Structure formats: structure tokens, C-alpha cells
Amino acid sequence: MSRTRDIRSADSPPAPPASAPDPQRVALLLRPPLLVGAAALGGARVARGIASLFAGTLLRAINRQSERGAVAEQMFNIGNRSLFFVAVTLGFIALVSVFQVCLQLNRVTGDLSKVGLELIKLMVHESAPSLTAMMLATRVGAGIAAEIGSMVVTEQVDALRMSGVDPVSYLILPRFLACLLMTPVLAVFAFGVALGSGTAMAYVAFGVNPSIFVDFSAVTAADVGIGVVKCFCFGAAIPVVSGYCGLTTFGGSEGVGAATTRAVINASLAVLALDLLLTVAGFMLFPPSAA
Amino acid sequence: MTIEFRDLHKSFGAQHVLRGLTMTIERGEVFFIIGTSGVGKSVTIKHLVGLLQPDSGEILVDGKPVHGLAEREYYPLRKRLGMVFQHSTLFDSLTVLDNVALPLRKHQRMRMSAAREAAKERLAVVQMERYADRWPAELSSGMRKRVAIARTLTLEPQYVLFDEPTTGLDPVSARRVDEMIKRLQTLDVTSVVVSHDLTSIFTIADRIAFIYQGQAHIIGTPEQLRAADDPIVQQFISGRSDGPMETPGF
Amino acid sequence: MIARVGDVVIGVTREVGGIGVLMLQVLRALLPWPSMDARELWRNLYRMGVKSLPIILATAFFSGAILVVQSGIFVRRFGAEGLLGWATGYSTFREIGPILIALMFSGRVGSNNTAELGTMTITEQIDGLRALAIDPIRYLIVPRVTAMMVMLFALTVFGDFVAILGGALLGQVVVGVDTSVFWHSLFSNLGTWDLVHGLVKSVFFGLVISLTSCYFGISVRGGAVGVGRAVNASVVASAIGIMVTDCLLTLLMK
């Protein structure tokens, strides 16, 4: 027995990982309230970290601490990564929503002439920006967190700081500017794809003439304004949230996977929360008038 | 009761790793497969349990061919041929005790409590019963190796394959693992050990195959290996960096 | 450009084929009788379901709230306040609820699953199972697929409920439609089929997410970097899979 103890003290086992849950130790009934409490506390800390990173990034953006080449490279990365993805997902969403709306309207009124008009209005101020941003949160957010996260665990970020380079202006700022500029571009592209597939679905399945379906007359300046503001807000939120998740990576190579997951979830939730906020604000500022 | 390799060839892409390996492992011996890193030692034993398939050549266990089978046909074989991996490969999601109990539950249809009791006995054999409720991440690599050995022995295999059992262990843990391998001989278990740990080689090996350029360069007892007047073998066992040996990648 | 499109097509075909093969293996593992490791199933049900409940509920609340305000715009334009509950419920139950919850589930659970199986693959734990003569498909994949299908279904039920609550709340506060009007409009215009339509979808989304994430997990190559890449690819492929499945199911079920 004493030999076993000797061996144990010779190479003392590493401390248990903080994230290792032990479901058997805590009574199952106690868990949900504990989870909510822990989530609230953790959420507050994360929110503070994200806010300070956002402020820091803005400050550096005003001081122009970024190379144009780096921004252009990130813009290419973002576009290259997500063009196909955004096209496929938004295309299918438009197919389905046109189908569902027409199906229901057929039962109620049978008048499908206004479907395109209303859906295009909805797409401009809501669907195109928010769904594109949801997809970017998945694609680009995960990518940013994985890149920065693996730089953190391989101590490349520490090496940057040792050589006097500020990680925020070197890593976060180019991605921030690139995402800010690319989100509206991709949203417009997504709008085009969705319009195309929606028009096709209306024509093929319900015989709505494309010349009736494609009708921009209901789109007001306020719709376009809300859409653009949403694009910029989402474009700012995604890189900051996922960059924060990447920079706070810990726990070796497995930590990078965890950071990627957190980035996707947090960036998506941020997009949803901002979308609710901006939608309500838009509703209050430009109250819809009767048609 | 032998393992035979006949003219085994295996390539990974452009890398021709095994080039006509031929050797025979006899019942009850501690057989070492040695050589420099990347020479195909681990690749060789992974062929035995069907984790890899040869490009050409034959592998016979007890006279029956064991290459080119379907995955399910390997299961009876793998119960007779246990394998201890280099990094122990304990399952992260199970405690030490449940790691050892898993094969018992799966193959002997034991109930959870019975399997745990049996697993405790196995852990006692490798002096790890005090750590039964720990998670694998909380153990040192030496302790993990001992648990892995206990887990492999639960199925009472006739052959146990060890992939670099002492690599990455401190000298004390390494010698304890060596003792465990040697003790298996008393249970009529044949051990095939892949290693480049010179201390293990010259303390517990019965016979040794030195792999060089994809072939068994020399096979013999430790004494024969020491006495061999082959410059390549002498360079390996004296650990000199200069010599006639060609080491790809360096 | 054409070469890139070709690469994409070849890549997509290979992944879809791999996922299809995995599905066949899962089905085969259910023969001759469907049995699976109860502990592994229970562990996965717990960590996939209970652990993602807060995120799913938050998502559901947001989506219900956004939908009600969006519907509010049309309701005001056409002066049809009595239709608010119907419009919100219809879009929540049939489309937005199941899709958004599935997307978040894929981001949380699917990516975790890929990372876990990927780590097991590169640390040879899968080979470890095979060397112990335990079928990794039956032991690891079948419980995960089952757990994800069950849990996504259950979470969608909860999520639909919370989304409607969020919708009713914001309908009262922002749009100014009384909750009693909202409930009346919801219950009198929507049938069980609208709810079932979405829940059936959620089961299939669970299947798609689980097979995709397991496939990318067990086919990881290239060490720790490979795990990161697989997680990324798995989330993206799951999202595309969800959209395509949704389209097919919508056309099939009407």
C-alpha cells in the first residue's frame, strides 16, 4: 500500500477540470434553479467582458489602428466562407415561407396577389438582415472563435503581446471592420437569392405571375433604414462576441472546441436579442399606418 | 498457438511503411517489436486486430488468416487479442471503475453491480482500486496505463498487444509496467510489445524483432541482439546519432 | 470559378454519402432487435436536453417576441387585430419555432457532440472500443441519435410554449392587442395539425443534426486542429441539412 502512496505523491494527479460535471453528486431536482442562477451570473460577467471589448475595438477603430490589407483579407475570408452557405439557407427559407403563406392564404382569402408585395417588405426590414446574420453568426462566428482560440492555446497571442503587438487591434479590429462592411453586402445578396427562389416557388406551386409577385411598392424608406441599421448592428455584434469567446479560450485543444460552441450560441443569441430590440424600436418610431 | 506475419506490405499514400515483413511469434513469450519512430511498429500490431488492413501479405493467428475480414468478424478475435494503446485511451466519459466494467457488461452480459464488483478485483490486480471513482483526466499517465491494462485483461485474452507501454512514463512507473507485462506470462498470456525503451527490451523480452526499412532486420533473444555484429543494430542499442542507419524525416 | 463549383459539388456529394452510410449503419445496429447502452443514452439525454434548456427557452422567447411585433405591422396595416394570435401561432408552430430551436440545438449540442467524438477519434478511443470488440456505432452513435431526436422534440414542445407566451406578452405591451384577443385568435384559428406539423419536423431535424454531427466527429483527421475544423463544418452542414429537410417536409406534409 505504501508503494502506491509513494507513486501517487511522486506524480500527483492534475486537478479535476473545472468543467467536469458530476450529475450524480447534485440532486437532480436542485439543478434547474442552480443552472439558471449560474447562467445569470455567468451571463453578467460575459456581458461585461463583451462590452469592454466592444469599447476597446471602437476606440482603436477611431484611432485607425488597423492595416487596410488585413481588413481586405478578412472581408475576402468572410465572403468566401459564407456566400454559398447564405445562398443555400436563405434560398430554402424563402421557398418554405412563400409556400406556407400561400397555402394558408389560399384557405382564408384565396387572394395571392399581395403575397409578394408584403413578403418583400418583410424581407427588407427583417428577414434578410436577421437570417443572414444568424447564418453569419454560425459560419463566421465559429471561424473567428476557432482561429483566435487556437492562437490563444498555442500561446501565439502571448507571443504577440511579448513583441509589443496589441491583440485587439491586430486580431479583433480587422475582423470587426470586415464583418461590419460585409454583413450589408451579404444581406443584399441573400435578399436577391431569396427573392429569386420565392418568386419561383410562387410561380411553380401557386401560379402567381412573377410580374405581380415582384412588387417593391410597399417598401418605404423606413423599411430600408431599419434593415440597414440592423445589418450594421449585427455586423458589429458577431465579431465582437465571437472574438471575445476566442480570446477567453482555456483548456488546451479541447478548449478551442468549447470556445467555438460558445461563440455560435452567444453570437446567435446576440443577433436575436438585438433583432428584438431594433424591431420594437422600429415599430415605435415608425408606427405602421393602415394600407 | 502462434502469430505469423507473411510478407506484409502496407502503404499510407506515397509512404511505403511495411515492405515484406515476415516473422513468427510463439506462444507464451514476451515478444518485442523495436525500431525507430515511424518505422511501422504500431502499424504492425494494429493489423493483428483489424484496425488496419494490409495491402498484401498474410497474417495468421493460430493458423487462421485474420486479414480482410468484415468489422463484425473481428469481434471474436479481439476478445482473444487484447490491445493496450500508447495513450491508454480510457473513455473520458466513464470513471476508472466503469471503464474497466464496460467490457464485462458488454461481453459477459453482467449486471451493473456485478460488473463493478468484478472490475474492482481487476483494479486490485494493478493496484488501482483506490482510484476506482476517479475520472481518467484526474490520473497521471502511469496510472492510466495500469487501468488500461486492467481493462484489457477483463476479457481474459490469450494475447495482449502493448503499443509503446512505457513511452512518456517516469522510470519508476515504467518499470512497474514492465513487471506487469512479465507477470502475464504466468497466466499463459503471450505479450507482443512495441517499444523503443532499451531498459524494457533488455529486462523482460524473450525475443526481439528489430524492424528496419519495413522488414524484420533481425530476430533473436536480447543476448543475440547485443552480440550481433550488425552496425545498424549496434547503432540503435547504443543510441548513437551517427551511423549507417537511415532515419526518414531526420 | 467552375473548378470551385466542381470542388463544392464533389465535397457535398462525399459528405452526404458519408452521412447516408452512417444512417444505414445505425439502422443495421438496431437489428436484430433495437437495444442500446442505457447509461450512455441517459447521459446524453441529460447533457443534451437539460443543459441546453436555458438557451433554447431564451431563443424561443426572442423568436416569439420578434414574430408578434412583425405580425403586428401587418395587423395594423390591415386593421385586423383579431388575427395577431393566429399569425404568430401559425408561423411559430409550423416554421420559426422548430427551425430556430433546431439551429440553436445544432450550435450547442451538435457542435459539442462533434467535438467530443472528434476528440475520442484522435485520441484513439474509438479504436479502443473496437479493440475491446465493442461496436462504436451501437455503443456511441445509436444512443446519441436517439437522445437528440427525443430531446429536440421535447425542447421544441417547451420552446413553442414559451414562444407563444413571449408573443402574447409583447403583443399586449408593444402592439397593444389584449392577451384575451390574442388567445382567442390563436385557439380558434389553429388546429392540432399546425402544432404536430412543426413537431414532426423537429424529430427529423434531430435526426439530421445527430447524423451530421456524429459523421463529422468520427471522420476527424489531423489532430486537434482537425477537431476545430470538423466542429465548424458540422454546424454549417447541419444548418444546410435543416433547411433542405424543412423544405422537403413542408412540401410533403402541406
ipTM attached to this prediction: 0.85
Helix-helix angle B96-107:B112-125, to 10 degrees: 120
- How many other CB atoms sit within 10 Å of the CB of residue C35? 10
Mutation target to probe the A interface, by most A beta carbons within 10 A, among C7, C40, C62 is C62
**Percent of chain C clearing pLDDT 70 (strictly above):** 99
Question: Taking CB atoms and an 8 Å limit, are C69 and A93 in contact across chains?
Answer: no
- For A140-152, the pLDDT digits (tens) are 998 899 889 888 8
Asked whether the predicted pLDDT for residue A17 surpasses 50, the reply is no
- pLDDT for A2 equals 39
- pLDDT for B248 equals 60
The DSSP bridge partners found for residue B207 are: B31
Homologous superfamily (CATH) of B3-91+158-238 is P-loop containing nucleotide triphosphate hydrolases (3.40.50.300)
Asked which of A31-45, A99-113, B235-249, C118-132 is least confident by mean pLDDT, the reply is A31-45
Asked whether the predicted pLDDT for residue A48 surpasses 90, the reply is no
Residue spans of the domains in chain C: they are 2-253
Asked whether the predicted pLDDT for residue A11 surpasses 50, the reply is no
Q: What is the mean pLDDT of chain C?
A: 88
CA dist A119 and B137 (Å) reads 54
DSSP structure string for A98-167: HHHHHHHHHHHT---TTHHHHHHHHIIIIIHHHHHHHHHHHHHHHHHHHHHHHHHHTTHHHHHHHTT--H
CA dist A105 and C78 (Å) reads 14
Q: How many CB pairs under 8 A join A and C?
A: 165
> Position C249: which residue type?
L
Cell of A204: 411553380
Burial class of residue C32 in the structure, from the number of CB atoms within 10 Å of its CB (0-12 exposed, 13-18 middle, 19+ buried): exposed
For C131, the closest of B51, B87, B93 (CB atoms) is: B51
Decide if C3 touches B, using CB distance below 8 A: no
Q: What is the mean pLDDT of chain A?
A: 82
- pLDDT for A18 equals 46
Are the CB atoms for C132 and C107 separated by under 8 Å?
no
Residues A204-220 have a mean pLDDT of 88
CA dist B219 and B209 (Å) reads 4
Question: Taking CB atoms and an 8 Å limit, are A279 and C69 in contact across chains?
Answer: yes
CA dist B216 and B207 (Å) reads 13
Give the burial string for C164-177 (b: 16+ CB within 10 Å, else e).
Answer: bbbbbbbbbebbeb
- Confidence category of residue B109, pLDDT binned at 50, 70, 90: confident
For C133, the closest of B46, B107, B112 (CB atoms) is: B107
Q: What is the three-class DSSP state of B24?
A: strand
Residues in C closer than 8 angstroms to B71, CB to CB, are 130, 135
- pLDDT for B111 equals 84
Decide if C54 touches A, using CB distance below 8 A: yes
Out of A52-61, B13-22, C210-219, the most confident range is C210-219
- pLDDT for A269 equals 92
Out of A164-173, B113-122, C27-36, the most confident range is B113-122
- Chain B touching partners, 3 or more CB pairs below 8 A: A, C
CA dist A244 and A263 (Å) reads 8
- For B199-249, the pLDDT digits (tens) are 898 999 999 999 988 888 899 999 998 888 888 888 888 888 877 877 664
Are the CB atoms for C240 and A138 separated by under 8 Å?
no
Residues with Cβ within 8 Å of residue A92, at least 6 apart in sequence: A197, C243, C244, C246, C247
Asked whether the predicted pLDDT for residue C158 surpasses 80, the reply is yes
Decide if C131 touches B, using CB distance below 8 A: yes
CA dist A174 and A57 (Å) reads 10
Asked whether the predicted pLDDT for residue C3 surpasses 50, the reply is yes
Report strand pairing: B190-195 vs B30-34.
Answer: parallel
- Confidence category of residue A31, pLDDT binned at 50, 70, 90: low
- pLDDT for A1 equals 36
- pLDDT for A28 equals 57
Residues B187-197 have a mean pLDDT of 90
Residues C146-159 have a mean pLDDT of 94
Cell of A227: 434593415
The DSSP bridge partners found for residue C89 are: none
Alpha-carbon torsion angle C66, C70, C76, C80, nearest 10: -90
CA dist C182 and C173 (Å) reads 12
Decide if B159 touches C, using CB distance below 8 A: no
Residues B121-133 have a mean pLDDT of 89
CA dist A238 and A144 (Å) reads 9
- Confidence category of residue A16, pLDDT binned at 50, 70, 90: very low
For B130, the closest of A4, A17, A20 (CB atoms) is: A4
Residues A230-252 have a mean pLDDT of 91
Asked whether the predicted pLDDT for residue B70 surpasses 90, the reply is no
Report strand pairing: B15-25 vs B3-12.
Answer: antiparallel
Can you give the C-alpha Rg of chain C in angstroms?
A: 21
- Confidence category of residue A14, pLDDT binned at 50, 70, 90: very low
Cell 405580425 locates to C71
Question: Taking CB atoms and an 8 Å limit, are A135 and C69 in contact across chains?
Answer: no
Residues in A closer than 8 angstroms to B176, CB to CB, are 7
Question: Taking CB atoms and an 8 Å limit, are C115 and A260 in contact across chains?
Answer: yes
